[in-house]
């Protein structure tokens, strides 16, 4: 492994706290799409593996690491007659407007990493437009050297396409780069690309789930600086 020269972040559960951000958003989506129909609301919660009582996603939910298209298709499956493409478009707009809860002081954390001479990127299974909108809300778009989504032309995680695109764009060997994620999808993508894999605990998975697949497990991205200092 060479010296660390760049860090690639997943978005949801890494830059932003997953449950605090998307739990509230999903409750609103279910309420709006169900239109007061309790049975339909229950069906929507079930298909997303979402606990409507607690407002939290279950650890088994595919939404945690799924693509925006997969989420739209799942919702469409319990909305008879709803066009999947129009639903996908509506959900893209909704996700772009969703209020984000930072997992750690985002801009300050990222600027500290940039000050170390690192290149930074985002690789998310959300759409690129939604990712840019969410990150813009934290005043951090310009801090990143690359932002890629599942619709950016590089594929989706756990495939390594976005990670390899980052390495190529930055002209850096994969073994000098880090993938920071909150799911096994992120860790598998990192391994496949030859990155160092760092897991954080601001998603849904716990340390027991992530540790076998990661080089290190940190509480959140604010711990990256101290971790780099110890390397």
Cα 199 versus chain centre, distance: 12
Task: Name the pLDDT band for 1 (thresholds 50, 70, 90).
Answer: low
Mean pLDDT, residues 178-192 taken together:
98
pTM beyond 0.85: the answer is: yes
Q: How many CB atoms lie within 10 A of CB 230?
A: 7
pLDDT tens digit sequence for 123-175:
999 999 999 999 999 999 999 999 999 999 999 999 999 999 999 999 999 99
- C-alpha closest to that of 228 among 117, 66, 70: 117
pLDDT at position 148: 98
Mean pLDDT, residues 11-24 taken together:
96
For residue 82 the two structure tokens come to 């709803």
Task: For residue 8, list its beta bridge partners.
Answer: 121, 179
Query: Residue 10: is its pLDDT beyond 90?
Result: yes
Task: Name the pLDDT band for 78 (thresholds 50, 70, 90).
Answer: very high
Average pLDDT over the chain, rounded to an integer:
96
pLDDT at position 126: 94
pLDDT at position 2: 66
pLDDT at position 82: 87
pLDDT at position 81: 85
């Amino acid at each position: 492994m060479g010296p660390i020269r760049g860090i690639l972040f997943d978005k949801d559960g890494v830059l932003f706290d997953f449950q605090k951000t998307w739990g509230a958003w999903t409750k609103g989506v279910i309420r709006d799409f169900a239109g007061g129909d309790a049975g339909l609301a229950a069906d929507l919660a079930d298909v997303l593996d979402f606990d409507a009582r607690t407002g939290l996603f279950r650890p088994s939910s595919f939404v945690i690491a799924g693509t925006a298209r997969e989420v739209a298709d799942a919702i469409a499956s319990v909305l008879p007659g709803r066009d999947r493409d129009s639903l996908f478009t509506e959900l893209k707009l909704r996700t772009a407007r969703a209020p984000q809860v930072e997992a750690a002081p985002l801009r300050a954390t990222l600027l500290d990493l940039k000050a170390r001479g690192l290149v930074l990127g985002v690789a998310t299974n959300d759409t690129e437009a939604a990712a840019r909108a969410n990150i813009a809300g934290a005043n951090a778009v310009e801090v990143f050297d690359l932002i890629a989504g599942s619709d950016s032309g590089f594929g989706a995680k756990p495939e390594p396409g976005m990670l390899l695109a980052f390495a190529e764009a930055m002209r850096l060997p994969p073994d000098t780069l880090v993938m920071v994620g909150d799911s096994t999808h992120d860790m598998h993508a990192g391994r496949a690309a030859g990155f160092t894999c760092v897991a954080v605990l601001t998603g849904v998975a716990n340390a027991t789930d992530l540790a076998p697949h990661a080089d290190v497990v940190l509480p959140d991205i604010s711990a990256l600086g101290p971790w780099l200092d110890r390397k």
